[in-house]
Amino acid sequence: MSPSQLTRASGWAAALAGAFFILAEVITPITLFTNPEALSRVALTDRFVVQSMLTFLAAILLLAGLVGLYAFQSREAGRLGAVGFPIAFFATALMLGDFYANTFVTPALAIGVPNALDVHNAGVLAL
């Protein structure tokens, strides 16, 4: 694959990632916002599965898009780009881990241990 084809493919990956993120936010289960105590029931719905899978795939595509963007802009980005790219890549990889857990672990918990998801603020990152 030539560098121009790689750049073009990574551009499409980034654009598709953005479209997937937008689509996932449009179909976010409204039930979860109106009744936050119902995560164990919401996690088993088709909407939740589709939304979480879209965010997971979008994060994977975004990682590919970031690599291509940096490969295309590395000379122009200079030192700031050399520092910023690994930070952006690492942060996106951390988001991917969260999306993985949301896609695969949350439904498994909803089936096996629904009480774990029915506690107050289940599924919410709290510091």
Q: Which pLDDT tens digit goes with each residue over 26-40?
A: 887 665 666 666 778
* 124 within some domain: no
* Residue 9 reports pLDDT greater than 50: yes
Section 49-72 average pLDDT: 92
Give me 91's structure tokens: 């942060």
Domain containing residue 91: 3-27+39-117
pTM of the shown model:
0.83
Domain for residue 123, yes or no?
no
Residue 125 covered by a domain: no
Does the residue 127 lie in any domain?
no
Selection from 110, 97, 11 nearest residue 61 by Cα = 11
Determine which of 23-37, 73-87, 92-106 has the lowest per-residue pLDDT on average. Answer: 23-37
The confidence score (pLDDT) of residue 60 equals 96
